[in-house]
Amino acid sequence: MCFVAHDTLREQGNFLSVLIPPRPDFEVFNFAGFSEERDEIVMELDIEDFERNVIGGHSYLKMKLRQKANQKPFLQVELRDRGTRHELPVRLIKTAQWSMFRRPDVPRGVTLKVNNNGEMHLRCRMDQAEVTVYFSDLANDTITGRSLRAIPRALVHCTPIPESGSYVLL
């Protein structure tokens, strides 16, 4: 389910993509998109209204795309633990226009560079820009052989940068 906030992407609107996979803890999960190959629905809505209506921790949240006779489509959000139901107006995007609402290309490669001086660089390269965030004065914990076994395997694959005292997490 893709939500495009306020303006279209070509007018520099905000983009929120929501992927809700079926899980065993769902009581009921029904989703039908355009077709089996294109199992998605693209719509526009006011993201601030959406956020206001689903804020907080909920044990039960039900979303349903609906349309009543002589009305425009809306997203019905039901919060059973609060006993409330909200109807948020949406504009469904025709399949011919889906290319204008294409998800932004976000690279899978993110570089995380850290050193023993409490510095960290987080870099991400995209089509339009390269963004680097720099952190300093961070706490530096010593990792021993015993504590190294407790770190998830995905975080252990670091490559030392020769003569710099830094490591890159790939």
Give pLDDT, residue 49: 79
Same domain, 97 and 150: no
User: What pTM, to 2 d.p., does this model score?
Assistant: 0.44
Band of the pLDDT at 6, cuts 50, 70, 90? very low
Domains contained in the chain, number? 2
Q: Which of 52, 67, 101 is the last residue of a domain?
A: 101
**Cα dist from 110 to 104, 122, 170, whole Å:** 16, 7, 7
Higher pLDDT pick, 98 / 33: 98
Same domain, 46 and 118: no
Higher pLDDT pick, 155 / 136: 136
Q: How many CB atoms lie within 10 A of CB 43?
A: 19
Same domain, 70 and 134: no
CB-based contacts of 28, cutoff 8 Å, min separation 6? none
> Residue written as tokens 């490559």?
159
Is the pLDDT reported for residue 18 higher than 50? yes
Look at residue 146 and give its three-state secondary structure.
Answer: helix
Same domain, 50 and 80: yes
Report, as an integer, the average pLDDT of 144-160.
48
Q: What is the dihedral angle through the alpha carbons of 35, 38, 40, 45, rounded to the nearest 10 degrees?
A: -110
Q: What is the dihedral angle through the alpha carbons of 101, 77, 19, 66, rounded to the nearest 10 degrees?
A: -60
| Residue closest to 44 by CA, chosen among 92, 100, 9 | 92
Higher pLDDT pick, 114 / 4: 114
Percentage of the residues of the chain whose pLDDT score is greater than 70? 48
Give pLDDT, residue 103: 62
Between the two ends of the chain, the Cα-to-Cα distance in Å is 30
Q: Are 114 and 166 in contact (CB under 8 A)?
A: yes
Q: Which of 82, 101, 120 is the last residue of a domain?
A: 101
Report, as an integer, the average pLDDT of 12-38.
59
User: pLDDT tens-digit profile of 51-98?
Assistant: 777 766 656 777 788 888 888 888 888 877 777 888 888 888 777 777
Residue 29 and residue 27: Cα distance in Å, rounded? 7
**Containing structural domain, residue 157:** 110-169
